[in-house]
Chain A
Amino acid sequence: MAKTSEHLEEATIRFAGDSGDGMQLIGTQFSETSGVAGNEVNTFPDYPSEIRAPEGTLYGVSAFQVHFGTHHIYTPGDTIDVLVAMNAASVKVNLPTLKAGGMIIANIEGFDERNLKLAKYTTNPLDDGSLSGYEVHAIDFHKEIKAALGELDISSKLIGKTKNIFALGLTYWLFQRPLDATIAWINKKFKGKDDIILANVHALRAGWNYAQKNPDFKTQYVIDRSALSPGRYRNITGNEAIALGLVVAAKKASMPLFLGSYPITPATDILHAISGYKKYGVKHLQAEDEIAGICSAIGAAYGGSLAVTTTSGPGLSLKTEAMGLAVMTELPLIIVDVQRAGPSTGMPTKPEQGDLLMAMFGRHGEAPMPILAAASPADCFDITLEAARIALKYMTPVLILSDGYIGQSSEPWKAPTVESLPEIKAYFATDPTDFSPYKRDEKTLRRQWAIPGFEGMEHRIGGLEKEDISGNVSQDPANHEKMVHLRQEKVDRVAQDIPEAVVEGEQEGDLLMLSWGSTYGAAKTAYERMRASGHILSFVHLRYMNPFPRNLDDILNRFERIALPELNSGQLQFLLQAKYLKRIIGIHKVQGKPFKSRELEEKLVNLLTEKEILV
């Protein structure tokens, strides 16, 4: 039967199976290949926090979702077009997000009695008609790979390990992806292990051939190249982007980079990346705990390094006392918090925007520091450079809020040229005449920074309150009040130095949607779709959480209603209402899952048509 092809604007595929099935791996390959094929891509790995949860269980399902299209893709996709299911549990878990009429490619091996029982199916969904609303392809992956290998002597165990690659090959046929990038990757990854290379390459082709020959696969989908601006692109996750940003910022500032960190999900990938950058002269300490992580960074900052500590929620709690020390000693320091669902251990692999108020206030005494929030995986790079610029220019710790969602999801990123990157400068005090450690630059209020090794400027700093200018220890009440104000004023002045917030859509009117951090993707998608269907609303995304952009007050006052989606119970809502005395309509989700753009769209449309206040 002749195959047809159909053009699509976008599609979402989800690879789902057991933790050991290699879903993250083929998901990454599919997204890389889609990028190479000229599509815009956004991905999301979704896996349990157990390393290898018991096979076949509902809670053990590991998945990787890829959303790709011809136009800009801001999210990993609300619903799934194609579900690759390695077992019964992955069907059960993912069916609720599969589109009506969507495709299921199922490996029937994963639907045996044991798997069905573990997935709590009483009958096999592949046979019992319960999936009649979907296009189901039930295939024996193992048998097909074995057939493709022909006379080749490949062990059954090894064949079993290539099932994911077979599935990948099949989806490559479905979306007309080239095989060569993945074949090159297989050859590189398994260099020297010829039988593994052979098995994987055959499995990839077998998947592709299966769909090509099988009459059940009638249609190939074509997703045209997007109109990306010319340049060299790569896929990047938020965590990778932060690691890159750190190396680049240090290089730009002509400073050594030091990372003091303790492993914690989902921030650890930054530590992994940095530890692999030795040839860039990067130093890192995998510390004994979170406190040592930040303290070693403070020590390195004191010594003149661009110093960083990275963590997630519970780790941030442990760092609070040392953050206060960094505020008091007015040392430049970057603190990265890749937020996860809390409180306490919470849900380690799931995102939440629950640390904003802690970032803002989670220190004893009045200890303000600038806070930046990254909007997307690629934005993590820019925000890191910006954090370094502010930290050095104002001599202050700066906190970057990312989260498990943008930290681990990826999107194509146009790799910048080194020259095109913004200037970042360290302001060391080099002249001992008239040196005082707490004498300040008039414009930025940064103190004079003399590091050990500079002759004639020996001085002592520390956590005790400082006398203005001299930096001597002081218990003087008036001085303390003055210093509290100075530290606040310094952070406030950062507002002069950051871009104003940009309103998309009408500059004033009825409804403004405000977003921050990783909700950007869903909010922007919902906004664009609503505009395209004729709704009137405006959109502002915030990347600067402290201080807020200087025009924010004015913007908020130009709209009758402001809707603010957050993955928490209303933390930014609380801050804005307190600061600007303006009522904000909160849209909250606290499920350890990012917003879907359709969810937001539905609420906003409701707000526009029903004039309802959301609760």
Chain B
Amino acid sequence: MKTQLNDLLEKPHQGQTDYTAKDFKPNVDVRWCAGCGAISVLSPSQRLMPELGIPKEKIAYISGIGCSGRFPYYMDTYGFHSIHGRALPIASGLKIARPDLSVWVVMGDGDNMSIGGNHFIHTCRRNVDLNVMMFNNEVYSLTKGQYSPTSHRGQITKSSPLGALDDPFNPAALALGAGATFVARGHDKDRTKLHDLLKRAYEHKGVSFVEIYTNCRIFNDGAFDLYTSVETRDNYTIELEHGKPLVFGKTRNKGIILDGYTPKVVNLDQGEYSINDLLIHNEKDSTLAFILANMTYSEELPRPMGVIQAVQRASYEERVVNQIEHEIVTKGEGDLQSLLTGESSWLV
């Protein structure tokens, strides 16, 4: 149905689209703490935008509350810094109303897993075409250091001086369980990989959930060092690549096999196992995706990084449009006067 909005938006883009990262840096100071993991997400984002080949007015960043909530201020696109936990329904409303936009959502672990948990599972279920970046630092930072839904049991924080009693959410498993079609994990110490993950998220039609380990220097410094620092990460993480065997280790001497449904680490140096015995990653296999996501908190197993699942399902806003179009095709475009008059009327 043609509206004033169509006329305005159908105007062709007048300026350049050969942007550089600089075009996405607004003239404001970034006010995150020095060394904040979020800064490491900002630069890959600013680098990615010019590669998308879309006019920058078609991009919107929506955030909730917390340190991550400031993200839109640091991207020179359209942006909306909303309220605690509610970025996803706001972004969903925007995307459903405006499928032409590239909508990015920025949230923290507290924002998304706690107050916004309900919205998160339902956005995953609906498969709205949103690119969701969740900055996970396993702590509440802007409220100055309380435990979050991803804090580990026993974590000492200002609100858990004797250790947190709750077990953490496993965000990737939660997303998969809720029906997210694209689930990935990255971290702040490898900006190139992060850039690639965000690009994959953009290219995926439907909800894309990218959990990003971001170090909080002030309240939870070094929480992810084992998985992110150059010295240790090869032994403690496994980089997932579609169609490739699950191999890891500094000398790529270790791999994952399946023992029944249970993943097990094997050593490739001792002749018992070769690379041909290893589990092959398949992004399209949802059963495998659950197995991989559930490796997250295991002490024996490396933590999976990269794309855990990428499957296709029609996106919600697409279904909305299709339903409207189908209705118009079968019943004809609605006539306002007959709507006003109704089905049962009489003349006086």
Q: A253-B4, A255-B5, A462-B81 are in contact. Are A285 and B92 (CB under 8 A)?
A: yes
A36 partner residues in chain B, CB cutoff 8 A: 346
CB interface residues, B 322-348, toward A, < 8 Å = 323-324, 327-328, 331-334, 336-337, 339-342, 344-348
- Residue A304 interfacial (CB < 8 Å): yes
- Residue A7 interfacial (CB < 8 Å): no
Chain B: residues with Cβ within 8 Å of the partner, total of: 69
- Residue B101 interfacial (CB < 8 Å): yes
B14 partner residues in chain A, CB cutoff 8 A: 455
Q: A231-B348, A283-B96 are in contact. Are A455 and B57 (CB under 8 A)?
A: yes
- Residue A35 interfacial (CB < 8 Å): yes
Contact of B80 among A302, A322, A454 (CB under 8 A): A302
**Cα separation A303 to B5 with both chains bound (whole Å):** 10
Residue of B nearest to A185 (CB): B344
Contact with B along A290-319 (1 / 0, CB 8 A): 011101111111111101000000000000
Q: Which of B1, B73, B341, B347 has the most CB of A within 10 A?
A: B1
A256 & B13 in contact (Cβ 8 Å cutoff): no
**Cα separation A168 to B76 with both chains bound (whole Å):** 66
B336 & A280 in contact (Cβ 8 Å cutoff): yes
CB interface residues, B 19-78, toward A, < 8 Å = 26, 28, 55-60, 62-63, 65, 72-73, 76-78
Contact with B along A313-331 (1 / 0, CB 8 A): 0000000011001000100
Interface-located stretch among B83-91, B153-161, B281-289, B300-308: B83-91
The range of chain A's interface size is: 35 or more
Interface-located stretch among A98-106, A415-423, A541-549: A415-423
- Residue B196 interfacial (CB < 8 Å): no
Contact of B339 among A229, A235, A244 (CB under 8 A): A244
A456 partner residues in chain B, CB cutoff 8 A: 15, 57
A247 & B80 in contact (Cβ 8 Å cutoff): no
Question: Nearest Cβ distance between residue B42 and chain A, in whole angstroms?
Answer: 14
Question: Nearest Cβ distance between residue A123 and chain B, in whole angstroms?
Answer: 44
Contact with B along A424-450 (1 / 0, CB 8 A): 001010100000000000000000000
- Residue B118 interfacial (CB < 8 Å): yes
Contact of A299 among B28, B91, B100, B336 (CB under 8 A): B91
**Cα separation A256 to B3 with both chains bound (whole Å):** 7
Question: Nearest Cβ distance between residue B41 and chain A, in whole angstroms?
Answer: 17
**Cα separation A415 to B80 with both chains bound (whole Å):** 40
- Residue A556 interfacial (CB < 8 Å): no
- Residue A154 interfacial (CB < 8 Å): no
A283 & B57 in contact (Cβ 8 Å cutoff): no
Q: A256-B3, A453-B100 are in contact. Are A303 and B8 (CB under 8 A)?
A: no
- Residue A368 interfacial (CB < 8 Å): no
- Residue A193 interfacial (CB < 8 Å): no
A255 partner residues in chain B, CB cutoff 8 A: 3-5
* Residues of chain B at the chain A interface (Cβ within 8 Å): 1, 3-5, 8-9, 11, 13-15, 26, 28, 55-60, 62-63, 65, 72-73, 76-83, 86, 88-98, 100-101, 118-119, 121-122, 320, 323-324, 327-328, 331-334, 336-337, 339-342, 344-348
List 22 contacting pairs A-B, 8 Å CB cutoff, sorted by A.
Answer: A32-B344, A232-B348, A234-B342, A236-B342, A258-B93, A258-B96, A260-B93, A279-B327, A279-B332, A280-B1, A287-B89, A288-B119, A299-B90, A302-B90, A304-B97, A325-B83, A428-B5, A453-B100, A454-B9, A455-B14, A455-B15, A460-B72
Beyond the given pairs A303-B101, A322-B83, A462-B63, 18 more chain A to chain B contacts, judged by CB atoms under 8 angstroms and listed by A's residue number, are A233-B346, A251-B336, A256-B97, A258-B97, A278-B327, A279-B333, A288-B89, A288-B121, A299-B89, A299-B96, A302-B90, A452-B94, A453-B9, A458-B77, A460-B73, A461-B80, A463-B65, A463-B82
Q: Top 5 A-B pairs ranked by shortest CB distance?
A: A299-B93, A462-B81, A281-B1, A296-B93, A254-B4
